[in-house]
Amino acid sequence: GNSVTQMEGPVTLSEEAFLTINCTYTATGYPSLFWYVQYPGEGLQLLLKATKADDKGSNKGFEATYRKETTSFHLEKGSVQVSDSAVYFCALKNNQGGKLIFGQGTELSVKP
């Protein structure tokens, strides 16, 4: 079946450090891939998405590239800020269905 695996947290970084959160998936067909973010005390928000192989999603300095050959969608940011502290969820959606399948979430804590 379809599944998403992301690196375990918590991840603790200093401000301006480089961030990578790994995400790999198992799916039939050609799913769409998403990163959602949950800031403390807030609801889930879409951060970025990619709908086909080699697409790059980007938003707020974050990027992720849909790599079909490695079934990966790693999240990166060149210079994190304290305000990026949140829980990040990688997810996939099969184009034949509606439901999102989420990874377990990675908590990021950025220290000044």
Partner 1 sequence: GAGVSQSPSNKVTEKGKDVELRCDPISGHTALYWYRQSLGQGLEFLIYFQGNSAPDKSGLPSDRFSAERTGGSVSTLTIQRTQQEDSAVYLCASSPPGTVGRSEQFFGPGTRLTVL
Residues that bind partner 1 (CB under 8 A): 31-32, 34, 36, 42-46, 49, 51, 89, 93-105
**79 Cβ contact list (under 8 Å, min separation 6):** 16, 17, 18, 61
Contact 6, 106 (CB under 8 A): yes
Q: How many CB atoms lie within 10 A of CB 91?
A: 23
Distance in Å, CB of 44 to partner 1, minimum = 4
Contact 21, 10 (CB under 8 A): no
**Nearer Cβ to partner 1, position 53 or 82?**
53
Residue 87 β-bridge partners? 38, 107
**Nearer Cβ to partner 1, position 2 or 71?**
2
**Nearer Cβ to partner 1, position 101 or 110?**
101
Contact 101, 15 (CB under 8 A): no
Distance in Å, CB of 46 to partner 1, minimum = 5
Distance in Å, CB of 73 to partner 1, minimum = 15
Distance in Å, CB of 102 to partner 1, minimum = 4
Residue 72 DSSP SS3: strand
**Nearer Cβ to partner 1, position 2 or 85?**
2
